[in-house]
Structure 1
Amino acid sequence: MNELTIEHYLTELGKKEGTPGGGSAAAYIGSMSAALIRMVADIQKDKKKYTEHADDIKQVLDQAQSARSFFEQLAKDDAVAFEPVLMAYKLPKETPGEKEIRQEAVEKAIRGAAQPPLTMLDKSHELIGLLEQLTRMKMSGTIINDLMVAALFIETVLETAVLNVTINTKLLSDEAERVVIEDKAFERVASGKKKVQELRETINYFLEKNEWPDSL
C-alpha cells in the first residue's frame, strides 16, 4: 500500500476493492495515540516545572515518535497480510499432493496474517509505558484530556488486535499451535487493558479534581 492522505486512505477503507480493513485502521489509531503522547511531552518539555524530568521527557518524545512510525508501518503490513491467505486457498487441490501443498501454504499464510496484530499488542504495551511515565511526572493543564484520548485509543487497539489474531488462528488446523498463539494474545490484551483502566482512573481523577491522586 502506497503513501496515502487521510482522505484517500478512508476512501480505500470504505471500498469493497480496498485492501485496508479493521486491523489497518486500528494500527493508525495506535499511531494517533503515539502522536498525542508526543504532543503532550513536546508542550511540556521546556517548562521550568519539569526541568528535573528533562531527560525523561526527551526519551518519551523519541520513543513516541518511533512508536508512531512503527504503527504506521503496521497499518500497511496489516492491510496486505491476508492476501497470501486468499492466494493459498486458490491453489489446486485435485490430487493428494496438491492438497498437501495447498494446506501447507494456507497454514503458513495464516501464521503470517496473525503476526501484525500480535505485534500490535506488544507495541500497545510500549504506549502504555509512555503514558505511565507522563502521569508519574504529574503533567498538568487541559492537555491531560489528550492523555485520556490516547488511553482510549490504546484500549481500542488492544481490543481490535486480539480480534484480528483470533479471526486468523481459528483457521489453523493445528489446535496446539492455535492455543499457544491465542493464549499469548489473550494474556497481552488482558494485562494491557488492566493497565489502561488504571491509567484512565488516574487521569480521570485529575480531570475531575485538577490534581493528581496522592497515590501517584
Structure 2
Amino acid sequence: MKEEIFSAYLTELGSKDGSSGGGSSAAYIGAMSASLARMVADIQKDKKKYADQKDKLVYLLKESQRIRESFEDLAKADAVAFKPVLDAYKLPKETSEEKGLRDAGIEQALKTAVEPPRTMLDEGLSLIRVLEELTSMRMKGTIVNDLMVATLFMESVLETAVLNVTINTKLMKDNNVKNQLEKEAKKNLVQGKKQLKKLSDSISFFLEHNKWPEYQTEEE
C-alpha cells in the first residue's frame, strides 16, 4: 500500500462518518499477516537449503498472495456491509404490510452483512495453515520473528471476525440461522486459537533458545 493511500485510509478510519471500522481494520491486519507469510516463502524458496521444497514454498507464496488479496477485498466489503441494514431499519412501519416488508428487509440485510466476517474467519484459518507449513520447515534467523508477528496478528483478526458475526446475529429474528452462524463462528475461533497457541509456543521457544522444540517435527 503506497504511503499516501495508507495515510488516506487511516484518516478515513479516524473520521466520524464511521464508514470504516474494526472489521476493515482487522481485514487489513490479516492482509499484513499474509504479506509477511508471502515474504518468508519468497525469501526461502531460492535458498539451496530448501531446494527440495521449492515447489512447496512457491505454493505457499501463491496461497499467501491469494489470501492477502482476499483480505483486501474483505476490508472494502466490510466497510459497506452494514449500510443496507441501517437502510432497512429506516423503512416505513405504519401498517402490518409495511412492518412485514421492513422485518424481511432487515433480516435479509443482516444475512448479507454477516458474510464478510464469516469469510474473514475462513481465510484466517487458511492463513494459519500456511503459517503452520512455514513453521514446520524449522527456519533459522531473524525471519522467524516475522512468522511470530504474523501469528500474533491472526488472533486479533479471528477475534474481530467473530465479534462482527455476532453483532449481526444478535439482531436476527430467525433463531435457527442465528444459532447456526454463531455456533460456526465460535467453533472456528476455538480451532484457530488452538492452532495459533501451538504456533506461538513453538516460535517463542525458538526465539528464546535459538532452536526449535523437540516436539516440533517437519511432519507436523
Q: Could you say what secondary structure the match of 1:5 adopts?
A: helix
Question: Given residue 139 of structure 2, which amino acid in structure 1 is its aligned partner?
Answer: M
Specify the code of the residue in structure 2 equivalent to 1:94.
Answer: E
Match of 1:66 in 2: 66
Moved runs in structure 1, 4+ residues, more than 2 A? none
Give the aligned partner of residue 184 of structure 2. 184
Q: Indicate the residue corresponding to 1:9 in structure 2.
A: 9
- Alignment-mate amino acid for residue 136 of structure 1: S
Take 1:5 and 1:210, find their aligned partners in 2: how far apart are those partners? 38
TM-score, normalised on structure 2? 0.95
3-state DSSP class of the match of 2:168? helix
- State the partner residue of 2:139: 139
One-letter amino acid of the structure 1 residue matched with residue 95 of structure 2: T
Structure 2 residue identity aligned to 1:170: K
Displacement of 1:213 in angstroms is 1.5
Aligned to 2:211: 211
Query: In structure 1, how many angstroms separate the alpha carbons of the residues matched to 2:174 and 2:67?
Result: 33
1:80-120: per-residue Cα shift (whole Å, max 9, x none)? 00000000001000000000000000000001111100110
Q: Is the 8 A contact 1:74 1:120 kept in 2?
A: yes
Cα-Cα RMSD: 0.9
Tell whether 2:2 aligns with 1:28. Answer: no
Aligned twin of 1:123: 123
- Where structure 2 has 5 or more consecutive residues not aligned to the other structure, the ranges are none
Question: 1:125 & 1:18 partners in 2: Cα distance?
Answer: 28
User: How far 1:18 moved relative to its partner?
Assistant: 3.9
- Partner of 1:198 in structure 2? 198
CA separation in 2, counterparts of 1:46 and 1:180?
A: 45
Alignment partners' CA distance in 1, 2:173 and 2:162: 19
Q: Note if contact 1:53-1:137 (Cα within 8 Å) is conserved in structure 2.
A: no
In 2, Cα distance between equivalents of 1:57 and 1:91: 52
Q: Which amino acid aligns with 2:174?
A: D
Long gaps (5+) in structure 1: none
**SS of the residue 2:20 aligns to:** coil
Alignment of 1:94-109 (within 5 A): 94-109=94-109
Deviates more, 1:29-38 or 1:46-55: 46-55
AA aligned opposite 1:182: E
Q: Pairwise mapping of residues 54-93 of structure 1 onto structure 2 (< 5 A)? A: 54-93=54-93
Structure 2 letter corresponding to 1:45: K
